[in-house]
Structure 1
Amino acid sequence: MKKTLTFIAFLTWLQLAHAQNMVVSSYYVAADKRDSWIELLVTSDNLDIREWLVGDYDVNGGGHLSNYASIKFKSINFWNHLRRGTIILIYCRSTNSSNVPYSIDTSKADGFISVHAQFSAVFDDCPANSDPKLDLQSLAEMITIKYDIPIHSLGHGTNHSNWLMVANPKVINNQAGSSNKLIQVCPGATLAGYDNIIEDTVKTNMTSTGLSLGLPNFRSGNLGSNQAFWNQLREPTWTTPTLTISTNTTHTVDTLRWNVSLDPYSTDLTQGYLILKSNTGIFSSSPVDGTTYTTGTSIGSATIIATLTTSQLSSFVHSHAAECGKIYYRVYAYRYSQDETNGNSYHETRGRAYNQTSFAQGNSTAQNPIPILYHY
């Protein structure tokens, strides 16, 4: 009895340790399997998915997910220290139905990874020719992430035998599928939206239009909920930011100091700060997610004076011409580089992400005007 309780406690610990650290966001079942893909979303910070599995099996069939039906994230540093909000796109074959090889993007700097299931540099158990893995089925399917125990599953179909046997968290679309269909979690406004023990079509969607490849899920009547959740994941955390400013006697140099933002793995230089100044104290706009800005340009009525490319730097010296009035400053924390695939301002959930609601702000001391004496 004691051994049984110990084993149950161990399984409970495993579930708590890995539960929903990464979820299946969507998958596309194409008529030609070379056009099928799976999209995963990292939901916790500094995540290590080395030796995790992602696999598929027919929901109508019997048996559990096993290595022959899955690929394994290779035990290399690339799959360690993943940032919250990172999107992992996995094509099920190395080429599409036109025999064009898929582009590989293994830079984590912008929070987007694009690979294929036969890419042995990052996956184990991924034969290039024979016995291909991730053989997605149109009528019924389930994609499962697991590491010792299932971490998250997304499926579709009307026979739920396998889905019922797999541990939570999981969600299923209760419809028989067909070729060229996208199955997605939607609305997906919170992490809880990726888990549902009762199969339905409320938390999921099956569609042949509006394919959201590498982007948030949407459907008619709910266009923005999943995007808001992705933005929340991708933006850095900055708890109670403070900014102190000291000014030299000639009022030509302001030294800004702040408490650093939360960064669980600062050595990868994924996070930094954007510093703005205003002579009026009016900041009419905030930085927009997905856009990387250039020093000297404006955001609304404010001017960008610096971009600092490390989260651990907590001060900045701003030299300027002497002014009688105050200078107002804002410091925004950001995460990720510019979108390396599509360029700047492609989409709010790709590329750089800013914490637009929790930022440091303050102002310099004003210089007293020099009295002018008139002699008559």
Structure 2
Amino acid sequence: MAIEKIEKQLKDTFGAAAADALKNNNEAFIQLAQQTFQTQHESTKGELDQRAKSVSESLERFDKNLNQLHKAHGGLMSRIDGLGKETENLVSALQTPKVIGNWGEMQLRKVVEIAGMEEHCDFDVQKNISTDEGRLYPDMIVRLPGGRSIAVDSKVPLKHFLASFDAENEEERSACLEQHKRSVREHAKELGSKAYWDHLEDTPDFVVMYLGDAVYQAAIQVDPNLPEDTLRNHVILAPPSILIMALRTIAYSWRQEKFSEHAREISSLGKELYERLKTLSEHFDGIKKGLARAVKSYNSAAGSLESRIFVTARKFQDFGINPDVSLTSPPPVEETPRALSAPEFHETVSDEETSDD
């Protein structure tokens, strides 16, 4: 009984001690866990706050940029709308005959400037030509060396050409380009019927039809034989590249013509100068002969003075008249005029001697 009692007491004692130890350990663990959590919480909260602040600032910048983008988009749309209206107005204007004509003439002038023909004044714009049927008005007359000339007309068939860009499918676009080709052909036929070459002097039997490069390319894309066909009607289709090349060739011919003209003028001036030098040499020959005659006359007079006058005058000294005054004979002139040795002078003298004979 005593042993059982002791065992029970020991169990109770150890149980109480174990319970106390477990309780103390649990409390220590909980306290440590709370401290660790508190530390981690504070550290994590600081990092989260920092990241949240960074994200907030990024969102603010994004919102600001987005607002600016909206404003820019609004301005861009406004400009696009304005550009669309201007494009519509331009397309509408380009369908007006007067505007088309002025635009074509302006392009033609620019081509002439690029080719260097304007500074030489080798073209007349809008010069009218009188005919039995009325007046013809070519856009330009290109003057060639030798009094020849070529008529140039600018044509701008844009209606079907512009319509091809608004086509909704390839079939519709092809139909527009086909109409465009026909329009170019009709313009060429009408231009050929005017027969400018019959009303301009010394002009080849053709007229140049100027077309914009895009207009020309669109037409020959559909009909590559179009240039040959229009040539049969005495019409040469000329986009800017071809017309500039032709005008530069003509400008070169004008420069060569001016060089030849200058050479002829120089030759004429040389001939005139030669004739004047010949006349001057004749004058020099006359002066030489006059000087020779003067020297001869002087020497004859000096000899006569010495041999006749002074001999008699010295006899007065024998009578005491001016005995202190001596009479000095003038010396003869020994030098003669220098003869001109140039062959032209001898030729002149020979001509004069021949004419005298």
Kindly indicate whether structure 1 or structure 2 has the higher relative contact order, using CA contacts under 8 Å at least 6 residues apart.
1
Higher CA-based Rg? 2
Tell me the TM-score normalised to structure 2 length: 0.23
Structure with more strand by fraction: 1
Tell me the TM-score normalised to structure 1 length: 0.22
Structure with more helix by fraction: 2
